[in-house]
Structure 1
Amino acid sequence: MTTTNYAVAPGEYLEEWIDDQGFSQQKVADLLGCSRKQVNEIINGHAPITSETALRLERVVGIAATTWLKYEVMYRSDLARIVDEENLAHFAEQIAPTAASYLRSIGATTASMKNPGKLVSDFLSFHRCGTWKAYDQQHAKSLIGEYGLATLKDSAAQLDQTSLTTWLRAAELTQDYERGRNYKYEARKLRAVIPELRKRAAQPNPEMLNDIARMLSEVGVVFMVVEPPKKFPLLGVTRWIDKRVPVIQQTGRWSKDGFVIWTLFHEIGHILNDPRGQMHLECSTEKKRSSAAEKSANGFAKHVLLGTGGLTPFHGLTHDRQIAEKAQEIGIAPGVAVHQMHRHRMLDYNLGNSLFVNLEGTFSAQQMVAVGP
């Protein structure tokens, strides 16, 4: 529905009718059985059209009482919206430009900082929050604590709350997430499928992400790749639907298989080892990867993918063929080895890159349910 930045009082329709008839306000007041002052206040929007007045107008003007009442409701609603957006405009600067651009890209708003009140209103509607205070209270908990929103950051870059919550909410509007509400998760089943997940991840190809999503869904875990806002500093996040169903949500920001696979098993570590349903966001505590939750998740990924020997078998290897052969021997994708060797400064960043497999665009994302301003 198109909105305006002005409100039309129903009295304007009455004034137009009076002019067409050539009547005076006093003449109309006499016909309605009310004072001239009341007619003048209705025309100027100072007095509301009540049910009784609407019935009188129907008899005098010939426009149905329900129509007059609809005009009145629309007028009061527009007035309230205009005042509301004027008040909300003060919060516009708290919405990161990347979050605003993201909302426009998915059709959740058409507003920009040229219409700040509308931008904030659409932002709150997207998050299902009536006020900015409600939004703050609802999402502040995602920035507190050791475990709550288990995340894997790619650097020490600052993570803006509005960008994060917008990305998370976008995921909740997908069919994948909706379907996950009916999943039944059991930790023992997830543990049992880890060897198969590891085996599948050792052969990265265009079908890998969809295969992994299917395998995880069979044990009650939602896996999804959701396009993030620009300059978004996360690789992935793990959270829960109603403290029952775990969700692994990746950005796909790094399309190289080594990043994707390591992030996947890191997040599985969070699911199996962190308190169910609790939330943690490492960048807000400034602990980054050094928090207990992150160390535990990284340790899990290392144990599953590299085994007890860790990166020891790769020490001194610099040629692609050597790294690929050793990775095959261990049973992992060469890209995983290169990713970890780069991270631990065992391999120069300009080496090994040809061993990465590009997974960009290979996840069949489910369509987002309709959103709009």
Structure 2
Amino acid sequence: MSQIELAKRLGLTPKTINEIVKGKAPITPETALGLEAVFGTSARFWMSLEANFQETRARLERERSIEDECSIARQIPYAALARLGVVPVARRPQDKVINLRSFFGVASLKLVSTVLPAAFRREDRDTASSLALASWLRIGELLAGRSEVASFDERRLRSLLPAIRGLTLDIEAGDLRNRLQDMCASCGVVLVFVPHLPKTYVNGATKWIAPDRVMIQLSLRRPYADIIWFNLFHELGHVLLHGKRRMYVNETIDSNQNGRDRFEREADSFASEQLVPTKAYLRFLAARSITAASVRQFAREIGVHPCIVVGRLQHDGKLPFSSMNALRPKLAWEPKRLDI
């Protein structure tokens, strides 16, 4: 039967029949009932043919899109993610694309920049990778999603700042990390620690994950205790000083700290003042020579571990970065695998 004859029998235009034959138009339930009357085969048969055709076409389109996204997957540190256990081990680029879609929770890797725009905010990325940073941020989201914390309480958080600062005196304690996370959780702050990923230069990030819950995500790229505490107070500065609408990402891409915006500078100042009050710090610089003994004494006076003072002195150029590092313990907080 010709297409023209079939069109007459179905009451459709020849153009519509031609589009159905070429797969450009679907077989609708009404058309299936008409075909049942014309050919004597059930409408269910025709609808099944249509469903099978659409499924096959979708699979072919999916394969094409996967091939298109392989170039994106190659920019993501897949091996590092697999070692952490957040994606399955895979060799085929196509398998990596499928696994990364699931990891990011997107239908296409082309949408990663849409769901994690903060990772793509900077343009000066000669060595840093936006997709690697997006991967790091996504791990934080997944970890935070498994955490239970109280509703955010700004007053309680401000009251706990001295206690959080004082935990530096217990740096050798084995339960320090859990105590710190519990303290933050009690006022609505989810504190997560995420291992460093290649081609990321991130220190920390802050994101409101609900109207009454905020996530602070810290990198373990530089595990010195003073750096971790400074980064923590930097992110707490974002929580207490800045709005809820954007994600704040603290990166160190070059030694000159180029490109840091107002929010990052304000958070830096907040952290510096909270950890080593400016007035006391200036008195220390004016009254004493900088020795290991004077640093320890000053740290006792202001109630922090000596590493906090050494870190400040090194940052300000008062001490070489090679000096007094024996007073700067490292924290072995980086897990080999993550439970997500």
Q: TM-score range by the shorter chain?
A: 0.7 to 0.9
Distance 1:314 1:291 in 2: 29
Of 196, 199, 203, 1:228 maps to 196
Q: Structure 1 pair 218/128, CA: closer, same or farther in 2 (3 Å)?
A: same
Q: Structure 1 pair 347/124, CA: closer, same or farther in 2 (3 Å)?
A: same
Q: Where do residues 8-47 of structure 1 align in structure 2 (5 Å cutoff)? A: none
**1:271 Cα offset (Å):** 0.5
Distance 1:217 1:282 in 2: 22
- Residue-pair matches, total: 288
Deviates more, 1:156-165 or 1:325-334: 156-165
- 2:17 corresponds to which residue? none
Distance 2:163 2:224 in 1: 21
CA contact (8 A) 2:223 2:332 kept: yes
CA contact (8 A) 1:225 1:365 kept: no
**1:310 Cα offset (Å):** 5.9
**1:139 Cα offset (Å):** 2.2
Q: TM-score, normalising length from structure 2?
A: 0.73
Of 78, 81, 84, 1:100 maps to 78
Of 126, 145, 156, 1:189 maps to 156
Distance 1:260 1:107 in 2: 24
Of 337, 344, 360, 2:309 maps to 337
- What are the superposed Cα offsets for residues 283-319 of structure 1, whole Å, 9 maximum, x if unpaired? 6999756421111111111111111326421466443
CA contact (8 A) 1:159 1:283 kept: no
Aligned: 1:91 with 2:60? no
- 2:339 corresponds to which residue? 368
Distance 1:157 1:259 in 2: 25
Q: Where do residues 318-329 of structure 1 align in structure 2 (5 Å cutoff)? A: 318-329=290-301
- What are the superposed Cα offsets for residues 30-68 of structure 1, whole Å, 9 maximum, x if unpaired? xxxxxxxxxxxxxxxxxxxxxxxxxxxxxxxxxxxxxxx
Letter in 2 for 1:140: P
CA contact (8 A) 2:204 2:249 kept: no
Q: Where do residues 338-353 of structure 1 align in structure 2 (5 Å cutoff)? A: 338-353=310-325
Q: CA RMSD in A?
A: 3.5
- 1:49 corresponds to which residue? none
**1:321 Cα offset (Å):** 2.0
Q: Structure 1 pair 283/330, CA: closer, same or farther in 2 (3 Å)?
A: closer
- 1:111 corresponds to which residue? 90
- 2:115 corresponds to which residue? 138
Distance 1:352 1:177 in 2: 39
Of 158, 162, 172, 2:131 maps to 162
**1:117 Cα offset (Å):** 2.7
Distance 1:317 1:98 in 2: 48
Aligned: 1:203 with 2:170? yes
Structure 1 gaps, min length 5: 1-68, 146-155
**1:140 Cα offset (Å):** 2.6
Distance 1:280 1:249 in 2: 10
Of 285, 299, 306, 2:276 maps to 306
Q: Structure 1 pair 126/346, CA: closer, same or farther in 2 (3 Å)?
A: same
Distance 1:347 1:274 in 2: 32
- 1:7 corresponds to which residue? none
Q: Where do residues 213-292 of structure 1 align in structure 2 (5 Å cutoff)? A: 213-281=181-249, 288=258, 290-292=260-262
CA contact (8 A) 2:193 2:218 kept: yes
Q: Structure 1 pair 288/360, CA: closer, same or farther in 2 (3 Å)?
A: farther
Letter in 2 for 1:226: V
Distance 2:220 2:250 in 1: 20
SS at 1:173 equivalent = helix
Q: Structure 1 pair 285/211, CA: closer, same or farther in 2 (3 Å)?
A: closer
Distance 1:310 1:301 in 2: 15
CA contact (8 A) 2:237 2:267 kept: yes
Q: TM-score, normalising length from structure 1?
A: 0.67
Q: Where do residues 115-134 of structure 1 align in structure 2 (5 Å cutoff)? A: 115-134=92-111
Q: Structure 1 pair 249/288, CA: closer, same or farther in 2 (3 Å)?
A: farther
Deviates more, 1:134-143 or 1:268-277: 134-143
Residue identity over aligned pairs, in percent, reads: 21
Letter in 1 for 2:339: M
Distance 2:78 2:63 in 1: 16
Distance 1:364 1:285 in 2: 24
Distance 2:336 2:147 in 1: 13
**1:118 Cα offset (Å):** 2.5
SS at 2:147 equivalent = helix
Distance 1:237 1:164 in 2: 11
Q: Structure 1 pair 321/185, CA: closer, same or farther in 2 (3 Å)?
A: same
Distance 2:336 2:300 in 1: 30
